[in-house]
Amino acid sequence: MILLDTHALVWMDRDDAALGKTARRTTQSAWDAEALAVSAISFWECEMLHGAGRLELTQSPTQWRAELLAAGLIEIPVDGEIAMLSVRLDLPHKDPADRFIAVTAILKGAALVTADTKLLQWKHALKRHDAAK
């Protein structure tokens, strides 16, 4: 399973060149295998960014989410186990969304696609792919 960080989700959806060639192939392979996922917190982040005028979408965040899920994207809810482990782990972020996303990848055994340098350099067994490469 591949788990997209929020920015990687947006880049993938927009076919943005910021999503590197290797990350794009990895993401497409996971999509084709019905193994491409996102934390529910990413949709929360997108709703917040959209509401603040920092993320432009061609439709409402609700419609955007519904279309992605209908097309096969897997949404992983934030549950108590994810929330509690996000507090206990020595993560390089204080932002709860980043913590939830990283812990979701760990607990689901997924590889995280992210361009977040703090997460890419974190000394942990978390599987990850640089979204920019």
What confidence score (pLDDT) does residue 94 get?
Answer: 85
% of the chain at pLDDT higher than 90 = 94
Amino acid in the structure at residue 66: A
DSSP string for 30-99: HHHTT-EEEEHHHHHHHHHHHHTTSS--SS-HHHHHHHHHHTTPEEE---HHHHHHHHHS--S---HHHH
Query: Confidence class of residue 62 from pLDDT cuts 50, 70 and 90?
Result: very high
What confidence score (pLDDT) does residue 127 get?
Answer: 96
CATH of 2-130, one of 3.40.50.720, 1.10.3720.10, 3.40.50.1010, 3.20.20.100: 3.40.50.1010
What confidence score (pLDDT) does residue 78 get?
Answer: 97
Instruction: Give me the mean pLDDT over the 22-33 stretch.
Output: 97
What confidence score (pLDDT) does residue 117 get?
Answer: 94
Stated pTM of the model? 0.95
pLDDT in tens, 75-112: 999 999 999 999 998 888 888 999 999 999 999 999 99
3-state secondary structure of 118: helix
Instruction: Give me the mean pLDDT over the 36-49 stretch.
Output: 98
Whether 114 has a pLDDT exceeding 90, the answer reads: yes
